[in-house]
Every structure is written in C-alpha cells, then in structure tokens.
Amino acid sequence: MTAERLYLFDTTLRDGAQTPGIDFSLEDKRHVAAMLDGLGIDYVEGGYPGANPTDTAFFADAPALDARFTAFGMTKRAGRSADNDPGLRALLEADADAVCFVAKSWDYHVRVALATSNEENLEGIAQSVAAACAAGKEVLLDCEHFFDGYKANPDYALACAKAALEAGARWIVLCDTNGGTLPHEISAIVAEVARHVPGERLGIHAHDDTGNAVANSLAAVRAGARQIQGTLNGIGERCGNANLVTLIPTLLLKEEFASRFETGVTDEALAGLTHLSRGFDEILNRAPDRQAPYVGDSAFATKAGIHASAIVKEPETYEHVPPETVGNRRRVMVSDQGGRSNLIAELHRIGLEVDKADTRLDGLLREVKRREAEGYAYEGADASFELLARRALGSVPHFFDVDSFRVMVERRHNAVGDLVTISEATVKVRVDGELLMSVGEGNGPVNALDMALRKDLGRYSPYLSGLELVDFKVRILNGTTAATTRVLVESADETGERWFTVGVSPNIVDASFQALIDSITYKLLKAGAPAGAP
C-alpha cells in the first residue's frame, strides 16, 4: 500500500500571534518562518497583511521558503464586488503563494456577527475564492465555527464548503473555532463531510479548550482529512492550537499513521525537533515546558522508584518511542527512592563511566541519600549532582576558598525622605593563598552576594565573564520561616548552556551562597580552569 500525502499547515505566525502575552517582531517572524521551513512544514501562514504594521512589513519583503507562504484574510465585504474591495485586493496583491480566507459557516454567526444573509455569505465566499484563483494563488478556506455550525445547520455549513470548492479552493479547512468539540464529534462530522468533499481537500484546525486539540487532529485524519493546521509548542488564542511539535512525532513514529501517510518532515528534521521546540521558546523568552510530550526535558525522565531498575535493564520497553528519534534523551534521576542502578545510569549520562563494583559508588550513594534527607534535591540540580559525583570520584580540582561573607539589607528614609532599601554584601575569598576582599551592591541580598562573589576571583574571573543567573527558586521544606530552605539556582553562559545548582540551609542566604558557589565551580570545571594553589 503506497503512503498517502498528509500536509502540515503552520499558523504559529497568525493564530499563534493571538496568544495573550506573545508579540512577534518582524525579526521573530523571519526567524520562525525559517525554522518551520527547515522542519519541512508544507504551508507557513505568515499573518494577515494589512491588519497590522508587522504583518504588512513581513509580506512586503516575503521570506524565500520551500514551504508555501500563505496570507490570511477575510472574504470580500457584503455589498461590494470582489474587485471593488480594497481589503481583498490588498490580500490578493500580497507576495504569497497561497491565500487562506476565513469565512463564517455557522448561519447563526452569519446573522449575528456579519449581519448579512446566508446567500450573500455564500456569494462572498465563491467570489473571493474565484478572485484569488484568478490572481494565481492557491486558495484555502478556513470555515470558522464549522463544527458548531454543522451541529446547528449541517446543510448550510456544507454549502459554505461546497461554494469554495466549486469556486476552485484547493483546501476546505474545518475549524473548531471555540475549541469545545470532542474527538468523537470530530470523527463523526469529518466522516460526514468527507462524503461531500474529497478527504484529500479537507483540513482540520483544532483548538485545545478541552485538552483535545491533538486528539481532534488525529481523529480528523482518521476520518479522512489530509491537512492538519497547528502551531509550534501549541501556542494560540485562549488554550492554544493543535501542537505540531506533539503531532509530528506521532505521525512519523506511530505505526497507525507512519504506515499510511507521508509528510514533508524527514527523520533528520524529526531528530532536530527537541532543539527546535526549545529554540522557539527562547524566541518567546519563556522556559520550555519540561513535561511536553516527546520534547520536554522530563519526557523520557524517570524518578527512581518501582520502574528505575527495570528501565536501566530494558529501556525500550518503558519508552513508547526512542528518545533520540526526536532529539531528546533518557534520564533516570537520582532521588531519595533511588538505588545503585539509577546512580550508574545517571553517572553514565554525565559522562562518568563507573564500574558496578566500584566501591566509591557506595560512598556517593550514601552521600546523596544523606543530603537528600537534609533537603537537597539533585533531580532538579544536575550541576550540583555532577560536582558531588566528580568529588566522590576525585576529579574536581580545588579552585578557591571563601573565608567569610556578610550581607546587610537596610530599609530607611534617605536624605530626601524617601523610603529606600539598600542591599550590600562583603566577601573574603582566598585564591592561591592570597586574600581577596570584595564588596557588592544589589537589588537584594542574593544579588549583592553574587555581585561581591564574582567581582574579584583573581585569575578565575576571566572564566566567569559570560556567567549569568537566569532563575532563582526558593522552597521552604517543612513550613515556617525557621525551617530548612532549599534554593535552586539556574545559570547560563555565553555558550547557551544552562545548568542548575542547589543549596540547602536553615538560612536562605546561606543556601543561596551554596548554590552560587556550585554554579561558579561548575562553570570553572567545564571551562577547564586549572586548580588553585592551596
């Protein structure tokens, strides 16, 4: 049986731009379009030329893509002819391979939102599609509220689809605009529609308002649709659109779909998916979702417990797909339930090969358990764990010592009577036997301490120029401010690498200090800094 072609349509730059809190710059749009093209997406919807300056500028200088660059817009206005509608003309003149029209297919909305007649809406669709075809565009019709419309008036919803089809539209896209349709409804309705519109011309546009956008897209394909519309990392209005980053691996790796369909995404591109997904979050300046299917940092992670030892024995039987197929990796984490086998697996992951019989493992395991009992959580702090492990195995050079530090936070009225808060830290460090004293100011005690600490580490300072703290989390372990405090620090450097370190103490400043020192030490270690003199 020869595979059928399944088309992927990305609307990250159009529907995705409707996400609260997300605003793409022109540069962002160019960057994302290139990422999508590299992934092998068939259609890249760039936006709505004319609707806002960014989209207009984006289409004014359209990117060169293998994908079909698509302009989104409305059908012609009621009461004027297609060639006399400036909005439509602008859309047809846009430098795009394809035009995706949005049109009402729910008679209720035709009446309420458009305040026009069913017939006029059908004419608008037919004339707009015909005009776009005449202008040499490939045409798609997004049938807004299709499923709600179909439930209310199936004949009219179908009439809208047929009008576009007969006018020459390549694709009729069934949109679950409110996102409230459930998978079994999608299956039933798409199957019905496929009896009137050939499946190879049907698309699905699902939203995640019930957490079923992915399932709805798969259900539509099984019912006959051959185009899936979605976004990177599932961004989009309200709860987001169907997540292409989740759908693509399922389509390429799961027998049911892989055996029946082919897409434009190669296995090589698939192996870059994790990187692409996290890179997209970088553009959005947000932390990647660690639990994201396939690409999340935890997607193939197992905390110790009943599964861990078996996973080390037979990983594939505990993984629905091999992590490397999507460019992700397996992680078996150390935790207070953990055992020797996890430890070896985790050491292997950080590049430390240790023989099962190595007696130093017992010492390390005891140390990990002792510290985790104190409140350390190494599963969230890879760098601190690596330092702990390398120390147990004797491979961490001694760089510097901190003799003492003092942090002061004062809130008072300043000379002009304003209430101000000042944070100041002094640190005494010993490098190569020489005592170095530094003072730093910051927005808070930890920031001040960080400033003072990195101000002068003698010959180690050059290694730290690119080091920055990107996040800082505090957890009180057993309630009340008198209890143990766990501080988790996330650091990054000029190479783009990120690492996590942990500190635990009854004192939040002390705990932060430990995490800061671990972060600096980890950076010096990976930069290959030489050991210091005692």
Q: Does 482 bind a second copy (CB under 8 A)?
A: yes
Residue type, 122: L
Contact of 106 with 175, CB cutoff 8 Å: no
Contact of 140 with 101, CB cutoff 8 Å: yes
Please state, in angstroms and rounded to a whole number, the distance separating the CA atoms of residues 428 and 49. 60
* Rg from Cα positions in the chain: 29
The residue range among 37-45, 273-281, 382-390, 508-516 that interacts with a second copy, by the rule CB under 8 A, is 508-516
Is the CB of 73 or the CB of 532 nearer to a second copy? 73
Classify 328 in phi/psi space as left (phi over 0), alpha (psi -120 to 50) or beta.
Answer: beta
Binding mask 2-31 for a second copy (x = CB under 8 A): ----------------xxxx-x-xxx----
Is the CB of 388 or the CB of 529 nearer to a second copy? 388
Least separation in angstroms between residue 333's CB and a second copy is 6
Q: Does 369 bind a second copy (CB under 8 A)?
A: no
Scanning 94-237, the segments in alpha helix (DSSP H) are: 107-112, 118-134, 146-152, 154-166, 183-193, 213-222
Is the CB of 201 or the CB of 486 nearer to a second copy? 486
Q: Does 188 bind a second copy (CB under 8 A)?
A: no
Strand (E) or helix (H) holding 89:
helix 86-93
The residue range among 91-99, 183-191, 198-206, 358-366 that interacts with a second copy, by the rule CB under 8 A, is 183-191
Is the CB of 90 or the CB of 301 nearer to a second copy? 301
What residues numbered 452-481 form the site for a second copy, per CB under 8 A?
Answer: 468-481
The residue range among 81-89, 116-124, 384-392, 499-507 that interacts with a second copy, by the rule CB under 8 A, is 499-507
Q: Does 416 bind a second copy (CB under 8 A)?
A: no
The residue range among 153-161, 260-268, 310-318, 354-362 that interacts with a second copy, by the rule CB under 8 A, is 310-318
What residues numbered 424-453 form the site for a second copy, per CB under 8 A?
Answer: 442-447, 450
Nearest C-alpha neighbor of 467 from the set 509, 520, 517, 424 = 520
Is the CB of 165 or the CB of 427 nearer to a second copy? 427
Nearest C-alpha neighbor of 133 from the set 161, 95, 164, 157 = 164
What residues numbered 193-252 form the site for a second copy, per CB under 8 A?
Answer: 208-212, 214-216, 218-219, 222, 234-235, 237-240, 243, 246-247, 249-250
Q: Does 337 bind a second copy (CB under 8 A)?
A: yes
Please state, in angstroms and rounded to a whole number, the distance separating the CA atoms of residues 522 and 526. 6
Q: Strand (E) positions, 192-305?
A: 202-205, 227-230, 261-262, 301-303
Q: Among 2, 259, 317, 359, indicate the residue that binds a second copy (CB under 8 A).
A: 317
Is the CB of 198 or the CB of 506 nearer to a second copy? 506
Nearest C-alpha neighbor of 68 from the set 166, 138, 152, 17 = 138
Please state, in angstroms and rounded to a whole number, the distance separating the CA atoms of residues 171 and 141. 6
- Residues paired with residue 288 on neighbouring β-strands, in sequence order: none
What residues numbered 47-66 form the site for a second copy, per CB under 8 A?
Answer: 51-52
Is the CB of 184 or the CB of 360 nearer to a second copy? 184
Scanning 432-507, the segments in alpha helix (DSSP H) are: 445-455
Please state, in angstroms and rounded to a whole number, the distance separating the CA atoms of residues 71 and 354. 57
Nearest C-alpha neighbor of 110 from the set 131, 127, 125, 128 = 125
What residues numbered 274-293 form the site for a second copy, per CB under 8 A?
Answer: 285, 290-293
Least separation in angstroms between residue 79's CB and a second copy is 18
Please state, in angstroms and rounded to a whole number, the distance separating the CA atoms of residues 424 and 406. 8
Residue 294 CA to chain centroid, in angstroms? 11
Binding mask 137-176 for a second copy (x = CB under 8 A): --------x--x----------------------------
The residue range among 35-43, 80-88, 335-343, 386-394 that interacts with a second copy, by the rule CB under 8 A, is 335-343
